[in-house]
Structure 1
Amino acid sequence: MTRDDLFNTNASIVRDLAAAIARNAPKAHILVISNLVISTVPIVARTLEKAGTYDPTRLFGITTLDVVRASRFLSSIAGTDPAQTPVTVVGGHSGVTIVPLLSQSSAGTAVEQGSEAWKAFVHRIQYRGDEVVQAKDGAGSATLNMAYAAAKFTNLLLRTLKGEVGIVTPTFVKSPLFASHGIEFFSSAVELGVSVHFRVC
C-alpha cells in the first residue's frame, strides 16, 4: 500500500464524514488524521465551504505523530527523556514536506547539522511512515501510532476548551504564513485558544 493508495481510500470517506459533520454538528472542532493529511484537510475545508459551515479556526490536521517521532528519535541520540525533548515540526505531513526544527530544540546539538548522521536522522523522521507501511507489507499504516498522536492532540484541545491558556503545538491549519505564495494550509506552532480557537505563532 502506497501513500497514493491511502489517499484514494481515504479521500471519499473524509469527504462524506465532513458532509455529515456539516449537517449534524456544524460548530464541531474537526481533527483530521486520515492520510494524507496535507490532502484530506483541504477536502474537509472544501466540503464544509460547499455546505456553508466552514470555520477554519475549528479545522486541524493532526501532525503530532511527526512531533512524537522527532522527539523520540532525538532523545535516543541525545540520551534524554522523549517527554522532555520537544521538537517543533513544520511544513506538511508527507515526506520532504516534514521539516523538524532541530536547531530550536535544547537537545538539537546532539546531531551536527548538515552531517550524514543529521541527514539520515531527518530522513527517518520524514519517511518513518513509509517504513511502517512497508513493514506491514501493504496491510495498513501506523495505526497505533496515529491513535496515540490523535489522543495527544485531542487532550491538548480539550484542556484549552476547559480554559487552560498557553498551549502551543504544531498542527496543520489554514495559515497566513505562506498564503502569498499560494500555500493555504501549513503546519507550524499554533497556540490553541477558546475565543479564536487558534493563533499561528
Structure 2
Amino acid sequence: MFVLKRLPKLLCTKCITTPVRNCAVSVIGGASDIGQTLCMMLRAQPTVSKLIIYDKPDIINGVLMDLSHIPTDAHLKGYIGEETLDRALKEADLVLAVGAVPDKTTSKTQCTLKNTELIKTLAYKLSKLKTMPFVGITGDPLNVLVPMTSEILKNHQVYDPKKLFGITTIDSIRAQTLYALHNQWNPRECVVPVIGGHSKDSIIPLLSQAKPYCDMNGKSIHELIAKIRRSGDYVTEAKKGRPPTLSIAYSILIFARGILHALSGGVSKVNAFVENNDFGTGFFGGLVTVDDTGAIDMQRYSHLSQYECYLLERGIENIRKDVLKGKRILDLA
C-alpha cells in the first residue's frame, strides 16, 4: 500500500474558493484505459474527498503520480494486489468496478472470464465489510455479473439490494446521441429512455417515449435500434480493434455524479440494472431514482409501440437466462 499526500496549494486562496468535498470513491480496475480516464475525471469532482485506486498492475504507482499533478484537494490512495482489496473497499462510500473490455490482445471470452473472477473476488471482499457501500459494476456480461454479486452477498447475509447497481448509462447516452444525429437535433435537448438489460439482445431503446418525439417509419426505427445496440462494435471497428473506452468512462462518471449527489442528501436518477422483479426476471434495467439510502424505484412507461413490446418480450427471455446463469455460476465454480 502506498499513499500520496495532498499536494500543496499552488494558487492563492483569496482568489479561489475550494468546493466542499465529502465522499470517498474506490475505482477497482483503475489502471485500465477506462479506469485511468474515469479517475482523471473523478479527480476534479468537487464532492470527492478521497480517490482510491486499486488494480493488479504495477503501473498504478505511475497512474497515481500522474493524477497527483492535477491540482485539486482530493486525497489519493493506491492499492495493489488482492490482499489489499479489502482496505480499498473499507474506506469507500462508492465503489466503481471497471471491467475489462475486448481489444486486439484480449478476446471476448477472455474478458468474460477475467470480469467474472474480478467480480467474484470483489463480492467476497464486500461480504466481509460491516456496512455495504454503494457499488456500481461495469463490464460484460453485466446481466450475469450483477446477479452473481448479489448471490455471493446474500450467502454472507450482508446484501443490500438498494446499493448494488449495474451501470448501464452508456446505453442511454448512445441512444440519446444517435437519435439526435438521426434527426439532426442537439443531443443535449434529446432524451431516449432505455430499459431491459445490457446486451445486444436485451437493450431496448424506447423511441416511442423519446423527447422531442419524432414520428419515424418502421424501417428507420428498426435500423436505428439495431445501430444503438451495435454501437460499441462500430466504435471498436473504427478504432482498429481498440474498445470504446472514452465514452464508457464518461458514462460511468455520469452515474457516479448521480450517486454522489444522492450521498450528499439529494435525490438523483441513474441508468442502472438493479434488483427488480416487475417482469419476473429478478433484475431489470431502467431509470432508477436514488437517495442516500440507495435505489427507491424505477421509472415505468406505458403505451409502448408494438415493436418495442416484441423487443421487451425477447429481452425478458434473455435477461432471465443471464440472471439464472449469474446465480448458478457459484455452483459451477
Q: Quickly name the TM-score band, shorter chain normalised.
A: 0.7 to 0.9
- Tell me which residue corresponds to 2:158: 53
Structure 2 counterpart SS, 1:95: coil
- Tell me which residue corresponds to 2:229: 126
Contact 2:190 2:210 in 1 (8 A): yes
Structure 2 counterpart SS, 1:27: coil
The letter of the residue matching 2:283 is F
Contact 1:6 1:36 in 2 (8 A): no
Contact 2:288 2:295 in 1 (8 A): no
Cα RMSD (Å): 2.0
Shift of 1:168: 2.6
Shift of 1:124: 1.1
Structure 1 counterpart SS, 2:227: helix
Q: 1:76-102 deviations in whole A, cap 9, x for unaligned?
A: 122222222111100001002000011
Question: Aligned match of 1:86 in 191, 194, 197?
Answer: 191
Task: Give the alignment's TM-score, normalised by structure 1.
Answer: 0.87
For the pair 1:178 / 2:282, whether they are aligned, the reply is no
Question: Aligned match of 2:286 in 188, 191, 194?
Answer: 188
The letter of the residue matching 1:149 is S
Question: Aligned match of 1:66 in 161, 164, 171?
Answer: 171
Where do 5+ consecutive residues of structure 1 fail to align? none
Structure 1 residues 61-70 or 120-129, which shifts more? Answer: 120-129
Question: Aligned match of 1:152 in 254, 258, 261?
Answer: 254
Contact 2:134 2:294 in 1 (8 A): no
Distance 1:177 1:121, change over 3 A: same
Shift of 1:53: 1.0
Question: Aligned match of 1:96 in 196, 201, 216?
Answer: 201
For the pair 1:200 / 2:301, whether they are aligned, the reply is no
Structure 2 counterpart SS, 1:109: coil
Contact 1:193 1:199 in 2 (8 A): no
Q: Counterparts of 2:139 and 2:227 in 1: how far apart (Å)?
A: 21
Structure 2 counterpart SS, 1:90: strand
Q: 1:127-172 deviations in whole A, cap 9, x for unaligned?
A: 1123334455555x3222221111100101111221223x333310
- Tell me which residue corresponds to 1:169: 270
Contact 1:75 1:82 in 2 (8 A): yes
More helix as a share of residues = 1
Task: Give the alignment's TM-score, normalised by structure 2.
Answer: 0.54
Q: Counterparts of 1:27 and 1:58 in 2: how far apart (Å)?
A: 8
The letter of the residue matching 1:95 is K
Contact 1:190 1:198 in 2 (8 A): yes
Distance 1:136 1:53, change over 3 A: farther
Contact 1:3 1:36 in 2 (8 A): no
Contact 2:255 2:271 in 1 (8 A): no
Bigger relative CO (Cα 8 Å, ≥ 6 apart): 1
Structure 1 residues 167-176 or 18-27, which shifts more? Answer: 18-27
Shift of 1:57: 0.4
The letter of the residue matching 1:150 is I
The letter of the residue matching 2:137 is V
Structure 1 counterpart SS, 2:285: strand
Identity of aligned residues (%): 28
Shift of 1:113: 4.3
Structure 2 counterpart SS, 1:96: coil
Shift of 1:70: 0.4
Residue-pair matches, total = 194
Q: Counterparts of 1:178 and 1:4 in 2: how far apart (Å)?
A: 29
Shift of 1:50: 2.0
